Structure 1
Amino acid sequence: MKHVQIIAGLAATAAAALMFTPMASAQSFEGFTLDKTEYVPGDNVSISYDVTAKCEGKASSNGFINKFSSDFRVGGPNTYVAEASASWIPGDYTAELTCKGKTVSKAFKVLAPRDKFTLDKTEVEAGGDISVMKTKQSDCGEVATSTGFAAPIQLQYDSQNLRIGNGKVVETAGTYQAEMTCGGKQVQVQFVVTAKAPTNAPKAPVAEKVVQKPQAKAPIVKPKGAPQTGGGSTAR
C-alpha cells in the first residue's frame, strides 16, 4: 500500500512540474518593448517598460539617429516611455537597455522606402541647411523641389545606401511641401521653416572716458636782494 502511495505521489509531482514549466516560460524576463519591429527611415520609435522591469538609463542603438533615446518619463500606470528616431540607413538593428542589472536587446528593422524620399529634418530655421535623401533602390528622380527651398535640390552625393542632396530653405517661416517624382507620380514630404531666433540686444554704448588735462604749475618767483647779504642793501 505504501508503494502505491509513493508512486502516486511521484506521478502527481511530475504532473505538477509539467504544468508549471510553460507558465514559468510565459513569465520569462521581458525587460522593455518597442512599439514596432519595422520602421521607415526617420520614423519615431517608442520605447517602454513596466516599473517591475527596473530598467535604468537610456535605450541605445546604432539604429537611432542620435544613438540614444530621450530620457524615460511616466507614460501611464506603472509604465515609463521614451522616444528615439529610426536611422536614415535601412538595415537590421538592435536596441539595448539595462534592466535588472542586465543588458536586454530588442531587434528591429529600418525598411528601405522604394516609393518615397526623406528629409534629414522636419523643422529648419529660416535660411538654414536641409538635405534630401533617398535609397539607391528608390524609384524617385534626382531633383527635389519646394517653395520652401531657396533653389531646387539636386541629389548628387552617395553615402552607403543613400543618394543625398543638400540645400537651404527660404527666409520666410511657414509650412511647406517638398516634392519629387517617384514611380511616375508626385510624392510630397512636409516640413516647417521656423522663424530665426532673435539676436542678442545691442550692447549699451560705453561712456567715453574723460581725460583731464594736467593743470599748469604756477611759476616759481625768487625774491630780489643782494647776493652778499641776502638783504636789500650792499654791505659796507
Structure 2
Amino acid sequence: MRQPRFYFSLRSPYSWLAWHDLSTRYPDVADACDWRPFWEPDEHSEQLLTKAGGRFVYTAMSKEKHLYILQDVRRLAAERGLTVAWPADREPVWEVPHLAYLLAERAGRGREFIAAAYRARFGAGRDICDPTVVADLAGELGLDPGELSTAADDPELRAAGTGKLHDLHVDGVFGVPYFVRGYDRYWGVDRLPAFVDLVRGEMATVPTRTDLGELAPVPARTTDWGHAGGCG
C-alpha cells in the first residue's frame, strides 16, 4: 500500500493547525506521511496542469465563510495555546512559497521550511508570497536565498509543480488539510485524529525486526502488509 499522504497549504490556517497537531501530538504519524503541497495555481501553472490532463478542484469562498473562518481559527488556535497574526494577501502568487518548498524538500529541509513559513505567515503576519520574505526563510535554514526566492521563475520547478498539482487531481483533493490512506480520505483538521488512528493501527500490525524470525517463510510473490483482515 502507498505511503499515507498529508496534503497541506502554506496559505491555509487549517493546514497550519494540522501541521501543529501532527508535529506536536502525533510525530510518529507525521514521520510516516508523504507531505504534499496544495496551492491555487496561477494562470501559467493552470495551463500546464490542463496540458498534463489534470484540473484544479477548488471553489472560492464567500465573504460570510471567510469571516467565519477568522473566528473559527482564532478559537482553535487558542485551544492550542497559539495566537494568530493574520497576513494581508495582496495579489498573491502561491507558486512563490510552494515551489520554494520543493527546493527545500530536495535539500532535506522541507518540513523545516514549512515550519518557518507558518511562523512567518501566522505568527508574524508576513507575506510569504513576497520573494524577499522567502529569501529570509531560506537564510534562516541555511539554504540559498536567491534560488528559493526565484523558484517560481524556474521552468524546471514549474514542471515539477505541475506534477504536484496533478497529484491533487489524482487524489481528488478539493481542500486542505487533506489526508489519504489507501481508499480512505479525510478532510479537515477535525478529521486528523481518525486518520491518526488508522495509520497507527496499521503501523501496529507491521511485524518488527525481532518478529520476522518467528514468521513463516514468505513466498516470492505475496500481497503487501495492509489493513488487518485485508490486503493493501
Q: Normalising to structure 1: TM-score of the pair?
A: 0.20
Find the structure with the greater CA-based Rg.
Answer: 1
Q: Choose between structure 1 and 2: higher strand proportion.
A: 1
